[in-house]
Structure 1
Amino acid sequence: MHTQESLIHLTYQASAAIWVFVAITTVIFFMRTYSRLFLSKDPINWDDFIISLSWPLMVVLAVSYQIALSTARKSTASELPGTYPTPVFWALFTDAWAFLSICIPKLGVALLLSRMLRPKRWLKITMITYCIVLVILAIVGFIITFTQCDPVAGQWNPWKYPEVKCWSRNIQLEYAITVSAMSALTDLAFSIYPGVVIWNLNMATWKRVNAVALMSLGFISFAFAIRKLYSNTTLLGNPDIITLLFDAIQIGIWNNIENAFVLSAACLPAVPPVFRVFRNAVKTHVSSLSGSHKEETETAGTELTSNSRRITLKEEFKVSSERQVSRERRPAEFV
C-alpha cells in the first residue's frame, strides 16, 4: 500500500522529469515552425496544421498534470474528503487528455509521411484512415472518462456523493489499454516504414544513416507507450483512493514523456534547415572577424612602416645638419 510520503516523493520526481522533455520539445517545435514558415519552399499543408495544434495540446497536458502534482502534495491521509478530490480530478483529467494529445500528432505524422515519401495510394489511405480512427477512439475515451459515473463528480469525490453509481472501472481501463496498444503499434510502424524507404534511396550512406536515426525516435516513443500500457494495468480492480491517485500520477509521467517524443519525432524532419542557417551565420561571423583582424594587422603594419620611414628621414636630416654645421665652423685654410 502506498503512503503519503511515497506519493509526495513521486510528485517531485514527476515534475523534474516531464518539464525537461516539454522544454526540449517546445524548442524543437518552434524551430520547425520557423523552418516551415521562412526556410521551406513547400506550401503549408494539413500536416503543418495538425502538428501545430499538437503543441498546445501537449502544454495543456503538462500544465494539468502539474496542477495534479501540486495539489497532491497538499493532500493528507487524515483529511481525505477535503484534500484528495482535487488532485484525483486533475490526475484523471490528465490521463484522459493524454488520449487526445498523443493520438492527434500521429495523424500529423501520417500526413507528413504521405507527403514526404509518396507511398502507394492504398498505403497512404490505410495510414491516414488508421490514424483518423485512432483520433476518434481518443475522443470517445476522453468522453467515457467523464460519463462513467452519475453524478460525474462522484468519480473523484465519493465522500460528497456517497450515492454515486459508476460503471465497472475495468470497462474504461480496458478501453484505455486497447487504444494505448493501437497507439503503440502506430509508433512502431511509423519508425519501421520510413526507415526502410529511406534506406533504399539512392543517396550517400551517411545521409541515409542520419535520416533513419532521425525517424527512429518512434522506437523510443514505442518503448514509453509499452511502459505506460503496463502502468494502466495497475488500475484494474477496485483500488482505494490513495492507490488510485498514486497510480494515476505514475501513468501521467509516461503519458507526458510519450507525448513529447511523438511531437518531437513529428517536428524533427523539418528542423535541419534551421541548423544550416545557424551554421552559415556562424561561419560568416567568424570570417568577418578574421577579415577585420587581418585588416587591423595590415593597417598596423603599414603605420609601423610609415613611422620607421619618418624616423629614418629625421635621422638622415639630423646627420646632414650636423655635417653642415661642422663645415661652417671649420677654420679657413690658407694656400
Structure 2
Amino acid sequence: MSSKPDAAPELFVPISARANYLARVHTGVCAVLLALCLVPFTARFYTRIRPTLRLGWDDLLIAMGFALVITDFALLQFEMALQPGAISIPTVTHAVKLAYLAIPVWVAAMTFIKLSVVLTLLRIPVNRIWTFFLYTVAALQVAYFIGNFAFSFTQCRPLAAVWDPVLAADPSSHCLGATATRITSNVSSGVNTATDLALSLAPMVILWKLRRPMRERILVCALMAVGLLASASSLVKAIIIQEWGNPDVDGWALAESIATWTVVEQELAVIAACSPSLKGPLQRFLGKIGILLTRYDSRVSFMTRPDTTLARAVGVGRECKREWHGYE
C-alpha cells in the first residue's frame, strides 16, 4: 500500500504581547486625536459658511485630506486587531497589504493638508517673496507626493510580493531591500519636517511682525504651533524606522509603532491646519470673561482676510482691511 505524502505544515507568524499592547495604544491615542480633529475642522467650516458662504479651494483640500486621514486610520485597524499568539500567513498577508496601501494614502493626505495650508497662508498680503516661498513649499510637497507614489508602486515586481511572503520567496520576484525602504523613509521624513517647519514657523514670524495686539498675536501663534508637534511626530518616526529590517527587533511591534506615529502626524497636521479658525470663537469667549485681545471685529484674521468679495458680502470695507494690518 502506498501512503499519501504528508501535507505541508501550515506556517504561522507570532504576535507578541508587546505588539498587542502597542496596538491598543495606537487605537486609543489615534481615536482620541481623530475625535479632537473634529473640533477645529467643524469650526473651520462653520466660520466659512456663516454668516455668508465663502468656501475656497483650501477648504476643499482640507476636507479631502481629512477624509484620507480617516481612511488611513481604518486601513491600519486590521493590523491592530490581531491578538497575541500565532497567526496564519493568509491573515498576515491581508494585514500587511492593508498597511502597505495605507502608505500612499498617508502621502496623499499630507499633501492635500499642506496644500490647503499654503492656500490659506496666501491670504496674508505680505510681498512677492512670501508668495514665491509658499509656491516653492507647495512644489516641493507635490514633487515628494509624485516620487513617493512612484516608489510605493515600483518597490516590488510584482507589487503583491510586498505583502505576500510566498510570492516574495519566488525567484522570479524582485524587491528593493530594507535599506532602500529606510532611505526613502528618511527622505520622506526630511521633506515632511522641512515643510512642516516652513508652514508653521514662517507665518508665525510674519504674523508676529504685524501691528496687531500682543495678546492676539500670542493666541494665533499658539494655535499655529500645533504644526510643530506634527514635525516632532515625523522625526520620531524617522528614528524608529531605522530599526526596520533588523532581525533582532520585534518586527510586528515596530510596524505598529511606525503606524502610530504616522497617523498621529496626520491628525496633528489637520488640527494645525484648522486651529486658526478657533481664533474668532476663542477671542469672543475671552472677551465675555473680560480678556480683550483687540477692540475690533474678532472675525478678522488671515483665515478670513477681507477681500473685495467678502467686503461686499459682510459689509467690511477699507477700515477693516487696515485693521487686519494693524493700522488705526
**In the aligned structure 2, how far is the partner of 1:30 from the partner of 1:23?**
11
> AA paired with 1:49?
L
1:294-330, CA deviations, whole angstroms, 9 ceiling, x for partnerless residues? Answer: xxxxxxxxxxxxxxxxxxxxxxxxxxxxxxxxxxxxx
**In the aligned structure 1, how far is the partner of 2:189 from the partner of 2:114?**
13
Q: Whose helix proportion is higher, 1 or 2?
A: 1
Query: Which residue in the other structure is 2:185 paired with?
Result: 176
Q: Structure 1 residue 90 and structure 2 residue 90: aligned?
A: no
Q: Which has the larger radius of gyration?
A: 1
| Number of positions where the alignment pairs a residue of Structure 1 with one of Structure 2 | 274
**CA separation of 1:263/1:255 partners in 2, compared to 1, >3 Å: closer, same or farther?**
same
**CA separation of 1:203/1:160 partners in 2, compared to 1, >3 Å: closer, same or farther?**
closer
- Secondary structure of 2:265's match? helix
Q: Which runs of 5+ in 2 are unaligned?
A: 1-13, 289-328
Give the TM-score normalised by the residue count of structure 1.
0.73
Deviation at 1:23, TM superposition (A): 0.6
Deviation at 1:161, TM superposition (A): 5.0
**In the aligned structure 2, how far is the partner of 1:249 from the partner of 1:222?**
19
Deviation at 1:274, TM superposition (A): 4.6
Give the TM-score normalised by the residue count of structure 2.
0.75
**CA separation of 1:161/1:202 partners in 2, compared to 1, >3 Å: closer, same or farther?**
closer
Alignment of 1:90-239 (within 5 A): 90-115=98-123, 117-160=124-167, 162-163=169-170, 164-235=173-244, 237=245, 239=247
**CA separation of 1:200/1:275 partners in 2, compared to 1, >3 Å: closer, same or farther?**
closer
Q: Which runs of 5+ in 1 are unaligned?
A: 282-335
Query: Which residue in the other structure is 2:29 paired with?
Result: 17
**In the aligned structure 2, how far is the partner of 1:239 from the partner of 1:99?**
28
Contact 1:95 1:255 in 2 (8 A): no
1:118-150, CA deviations, whole angstroms, 9 ceiling, x for partnerless residues? Answer: 232233123223223313322431342232112
Deviation at 1:80, TM superposition (A): 4.2
- Secondary structure of 2:122's match? helix
> AA paired with 1:28?
P
Alignment of 1:3-14 (within 5 A): 4-14=16-26
**More deviation, 47-56/156-165:** 156-165
> AA paired with 1:266?
A
**CA separation of 1:120/1:279 partners in 2, compared to 1, >3 Å: closer, same or farther?**
closer
Deviation above 6 Å: which 4+ runs of structure 1? 276-281
**In the aligned structure 2, how far is the partner of 1:196 from the partner of 1:129?**
18
1:210-265, CA deviations, whole angstroms, 9 ceiling, x for partnerless residues? Answer: 11111111221121111111122221x4658x944322221111111111111111
Give the RMSD, CA atoms, in angstroms.
2.7
> AA paired with 2:102?
T
> AA paired with 1:84?
V
**CA separation of 1:189/1:130 partners in 2, compared to 1, >3 Å: closer, same or farther?**
closer
Query: Which residue in the other structure is 2:48 paired with?
Result: 36
Deviation at 1:88, TM superposition (A): 1.6
Alignment of 1:265-280 (within 5 A): 265-274=272-281
- Secondary structure of 1:84's match? helix
